[in-house]
Amino acid sequence: MQHTNSERLHEEALKVIVGGVNSPSRSYKAVGGGSPVVMERGQGAYFFDVDGNQYIDYLAAYGPIITGHAHPHITKAITRAAETGVLYGTPTPHEITFAKMLQEAIPSLEKVRFMNSGTEAVMTTIRVARAYTGRNKLIKFAGCYHGHSDPVLVAAGSGPSTLGTPDSAGVPKAIASDVITVPFNDIKSFKAAMDKWGQEIAAVLVEPIVGNFGIVEPLEGFLQSINDITHQAGALVIYDEVITAFRFTYGGAQDLLGVKPDLTALGKVIGGGLPIGAYGGKKDIMDKVAPIGPAYQAGTHAGNPASILSGIACLEVLKQDGVYEHLDRLGALLEKGILEAAENNNISITINRLKGALTVYFTEEKIFNYEQAENTDGETFGKFFKLMVEQGVMLAPSKYEAWFITIAHTEEDIDATIHAVNNAFESLQE
Ligand code: PLP
């Protein structure tokens, strides 16, 4: 496969865009380096790059593209928005329709607010929780990613119940010292942190089903225990459902798992591919937000008609019969095919899958926390990633990311992917 144009464009990009990419995860740093493939067009389950190569897309733009690229219903909605003005700076009827759709699907969203990204959504839930409780400290879980605002770019301290340290240059130590990071699926460590800091904790922030060190489900009772312990301490539970909402079911992970948070952050899928974020939760907590309450949050582009109409159209597609069954069925076929290919080629892998999302880890161990995901074989993943790209299958360039199946994928795409995996595993043996 030729990548001459991609390579040339990456060289050019390096001169004007920092690192040549607009989000660090798009670089190939985590897979041994190289020029990222530069895409020209997406259609359905496929990508077409600037060298004319075609790929089956499992990146799905890191989650949002659940309908496949350029879905006609969403395209029509975006076109309508373009024709009627993409930004008014006033209320519109569409945002009310969309808020009601979200609330119907995720009943814990008694009130919502729209904004432009998952980062903003999470950042604001933290602010609102602090405003509501009058406390500052936050507990989060190792390996969960919550966007790039200061309070969530914090690494764990030297033990599970120690205060955090900045995980990025530019994050003040004072901010990091208000954040405690504990291992996911480890209720003992969480309890220890709450025993020590409980009365100072404003909120506990968690991806209810993790999407950021692969797809990792909570162990039985983990989320309920978090709820119970957090509420006993007078703190709030925030679910970051930026990846999970509408990914596994027409609703949130909270609806799938039957555990309700106080506040929820949303993004990705709900924009149908256009930039969006939203947050919501209990009415008395949301009433802390301006203009009713003292917690400030605003946005020039917040609730813009283009993103909202695109989001409405996306949910209309997802609400149709059989959507999630299709994702689950193809996911199961893909999982089975990859496992068989691994067995045939003596490659040790573990697959975590939920419906149409899965992660292939190069390890024999089960993965239910970040430390285990960290210990998987990244070098082999890097080689595997490149072998797949060369055969026209696009994955995210990181061992920690999920493969996302869209409703545009077909059984033939899955078969072709399994064939490519077989070839890749065969090459890894050599
Ligand atoms: N929360 C989670 C769980 C995410 O996976 C992400 C992005 O990957 C974010 C928040 C941040 O969203 P955005 O990239 O839209 O700012």
- Which token pair is 124? 């604001």
Residue type, 326: H
Q: Up-side HSE of residue 372: CA atoms within 13 Å toward CB?
A: 18
Contact by Cβ (8 Å): 154, 176: yes
Q: Which pairing describes strands 54-57 and 154-155: parallel, antiparallel, or unpaired?
A: unpaired
Percent of the chain with pLDDT over 90: 97
pLDDT computed for residue 430 by the predictor? 80
Q: Which ligand 1 atom lies nearest to the CA of residue 241?
A: 3
pLDDT of residue 156: 76
Distance CA 77, CA 102 (A): 18
Length in residues, the chain? 430
Whether residue 429 contacts residue 92, with contact meaning beta carbons closer than 8 Å, is answered with no
| Ligand 1 centroid – CA 92 distance (Å) | 26
Taking the centre of ligand 1 as the mean of its atom positions, its distance from the CA of residue 257, in whole angstroms, is 21
Indicate whether this complex's ipTM tops 0.85: yes
* Distance of CA 414 from the midpoint of ligand 1 (Å): 27
Question: Which tokens belong to 159?
Answer: 């033990």
Confidence of residue 155 (pLDDT cuts 50, 70, 90): confident
| Closest residue CA from atom 9 of ligand 1 | 147
Work out whether the CA dihedral 312, 317, 320, 324 comes out positive or negative: negative
Give the residue among 18, 64, 57 at the shortest CA–CA distance from 396: 57
Distance in angstroms (rounded) separating the CA atoms of residues 377 and 14: 29
pLDDT greater than 70 at residue 245: yes
Residue 314 has pLDDT above 90, yes or no: yes
Return the pLDDT at 146: 97
Strand 137-141 to strand 201-206: parallel, antiparallel, or no bridges (unpaired)?
Answer: parallel
Distance 211 CA to ligand 1 centre (A): 10
Active-site entry in 268, 355, 386, 399:
268
The fold of the 4-70+322-429 domain, in CATH, is Aspartate Aminotransferase, domain 1 (3.90.1150)
∠ CA 138-140-143, nearest 5°, is 150
The whole-number pLDDT of residue 15 equals 98
Would the pLDDT of 163 be above 90?
no
User: Per DSSP, which regions of 233-290 are E strands?
Assistant: 236-240, 263-267, 277-281
Reply yes or no on whether 386 is catalytic.
no
- Two structure tokens written together for 256: 């799938």
- Pairing state of beta strands 165-166 and 179-182? unpaired
pLDDT value of residue 161 = 63
Q: Which two tokens stand for residue 329?
A: 């069925």
Q: What count of Cα atoms within 13 Å lies in the side-chain half-sphere of residue 166?
A: 10
Q: Tell me which H or E stretch contains 93.
A: helix 93-105
Q: What are the structural domain ranges in the chain? A: 4-70+322-429, 72-318
Specify the CATH architecture of the domain 72-318: 3-Layer(aba) Sandwich (3.40)
pLDDT in tens, 83-116: 999 999 999 999 999 999 999 999 999 999 999 9
Given a cut of 70, whether residue 164 has pLDDT beyond it is: yes
Question: In DSSP terms, which residues pair with 49 in a beta bridge?
Answer: 39
Counting from 1 in the atom list of ligand 1, the atom nearest the Cα of 120 is 16
Task: Give φ, ψ of 200 to 5 degrees.
Answer: -105, -5
**Where does 152-235 show beta strands of DSSP type E?**
154-155, 165-166, 179-182, 201-206
Which residues lie across from 114 on neighbouring strands?
Answer: 278
CA distance 24 to 276: 20
> Which residue out of 242, 246, 370 has the highest number of ligand 1 atoms within 8 Å of its CB and is therefore the one to mutate?
242
* Spacing, Cα 145 to ligand 1 middle (Å): 7
Residue 268 appears among annotated catalytic residues = yes
Mean pLDDT over 139-166 rounds to 87
Give the active site residue among 55, 145, 361, 370: 145
Work out the pLDDT band at 159, boundaries 50, 70, 90.
low
- Residue 160 — pLDDT band, cuts 50, 70, 90? low
- Give the binding-site residues of ligand 1, using a 6 Å CB cut-off: 62, 117-119, 122, 145-147, 207, 211-212, 240, 242-243, 267
The two structure tokens encoding residue 295: 């917690």
Residue pLDDT, tens place only, 68-91? 999 999 999 999 999 999 999 999
Q: Is 361 a catalytic residue?
A: no
